[in-house]
Structure 1
């Protein structure tokens, strides 16, 4: 899989799949989740409500992933995944890596060729940016997928992008 670092707005990425760093309710929120719901429009919320009413009554578990329409976003689908909250006393990095792994698996099932990821858990969930980049790249660079794919790690803000380039050795 090809992996590219992109500084920008995830909601503007023209790809098959945009990954949403969702909260477990799947009903929108702040940060990436809120931006995706706002720009994607009511179609995304309608599908996430159906998911809550059927399969995910208690919410989407951390590390899991599920797809919906992309609504008005320049993508075909949104894959929602719930990142872990960072903890200084408990290693939750396997859950963070599972977000990327499961999102890729869902994208594979959709036949997606291009996928844009935010830096999952690095915002309100306080995951240190440098380690969040390491965790993301460890999964994305080693992923084996059914389709040749390009993954974009979309980094919001110049400081985050600069940290990511340093971690990636660019």
Structure 2
């Protein structure tokens, strides 16, 4: 696949995610390097949706370590169970946060972040990383984002 996204203007979110799935699959199918695939995935999501921050935290030595991302400077390490990312890792589930100020223990990497969604990436039933997406608007993410991102992250488990 060429490194060009083909995005139809004006699609609703669910249709946009469906449009991205085969493109992301084609972009990553022949690439064995996890870092390259995570980097391109962050770029694809930011380009397709204009998210404020998109990136990955990878499980290393019992903490999440910053991986490839698109957006402003980010927190480097997160302990299990801390913040939205650490909680998603600990509970092995997607967490959708309409207002980060209302999430107990939220880690404010950027004061511009207002809402967030974190999706765990599983390999053999174990969380190996999380996708973290932040918005500078309240209540940016919904069930369409959750379903679309979870489907895309099913591809990512194979990269680890």
TM-score range, shorter chain: 0.3 to 0.5
Q: TM-score normalized by structure 2?
A: 0.35
Structure with the largest fraction of strand: 2
Larger relative contact order (Cα-Cα within 8 Å, sequence gap ≥ 6) = 1
TM-score in terms of structure 1 length: 0.34
